[in-house]
Amino acid sequence: MPLKRVTIDRWWETYKKGDKPTVVVLTGAGISAESGLSTFRDSGGLWEKYPVYKVATPEAWQANPELVLEFYNKRRAQLKDVEPNAAHFALKEMESWADVLIITQNVDNLHERAGSRYVLHLHGELTKVRSEKDENLIYEIGYEPISLGMTAEDGAQLRPHVVWFGELVPMIEPAIALTEKADAFLIIGTSLVVYPAAGLIDYVPEKAPIVVVDPKQPAVPPTAKVHYIAEPATTGTPKAIEYLKERLLRD
């Protein structure tokens, strides 16, 4: 059966600040850790088991596309068996008093499955694939595997709709524009070592509070003033939201 072609909902092109405060949230692998998805750089993380250069670069795709597909097929199959956690749901609930704009580095769909309205995927999405020749030919694959020989309508091999190391990050421009609109910036579960995502913090308006939730303090620039909650996402996120509610609704 042919795959369903999809277009990405570019909500960020029409988003306008309204009466509610705008809270921009940058999430990384740590927010999904308690759902059962491995992070990348913690001990036992994905890059320890699968070296990046073998599975997540254009060179890897040229050298051994089967291995690359297998890596992402496993990630997709695993995603089917996990659920959003209390941190994802807390962000959804925050929509009752704030415009919650989520910029995620994650390729999972747990924010969407928790019901979040505004999600921008900086590094792509596991449940989508695309033509290796034409980045606009994108298809929904759900949790199914792809194999060599499966092609897009232009006849080109299908590849994961993810950003590999060494590739451009086209979504960084809208992500910067959203960050510049932030009344507050909330960072959850990212080591902040991968650019350009890690550089978003430089675009947070001066008077917007920055809150970080992570059991290990990530690489925040020394000049940034942050309120740091040293806890896992499921317990730290509700506390971060309470803190922001108090700050933003009081001002």
Is 47 or 97 the residue whose CB approaches ligand APR more closely?
A: 47
Which amino acid is present at 158? L
Residue 201 has phi, psi (to 5 degrees) of -55, -25
> Which one of 88, 123, 161, 227 is the catalytic residue?
123
The reply on whether position 35 binds ligand APR by CB under 6 A is: no
Which of 35, 39, 131, 157 binds ligand APR (CB under 6 A)? It is: 39
User: 30-53 burial, b for 16+ CB within 10 Å, e for fewer?
Assistant: bbbbbbebbbbebeeebeeebeee
- Residue 109 binds to ligand APR (criterion: CB under 6 A): no
Residues in binding contact with ligand APR, number by CB under 6 A: 22
Question: For residues 111 and 96, what is the distance between their CA atoms, to the nearest angstrom?
Answer: 16
Nearest approach in angstroms of CB 107 to ligand APR is: 7
Strand-pairing partners, residue 23, are 100, 184
| Angle of helix 86-93 versus helix 233-250 axis, rounded to 10 | 20
Residue nearest to ligand APR (CB): 30
25 to 1, 123, 197, 223: CA distances (angstroms): 38, 15, 12, 20
Q: Is 121 a catalytic residue?
A: no
Query: Binding ligand APR by CB under 6 A: which of 22, 105, 116, 131?
Result: 105
Query: Is residue 108 involved in binding ligand APR (CB under 6 A)?
Result: no
Q: Is 43 in the site for ligand APR (CB under 6 A)?
A: no
Q: What is the x/- site pattern for ligand APR, positions 174-203, by CB under 6 A?
A: ---------------xxx--x---------
∠ at Cα 208 (9, 238), nearest 5°?
70
Residues 27 and 9: their CA atoms lie apart, in Å, by: 19
The residues binding ligand APR (CB under 6 A) are 28-30, 33-34, 39-42, 45, 105, 123, 189-191, 194, 214-216, 218, 232-233
Which active-site residues does the annotation give?
A: 123
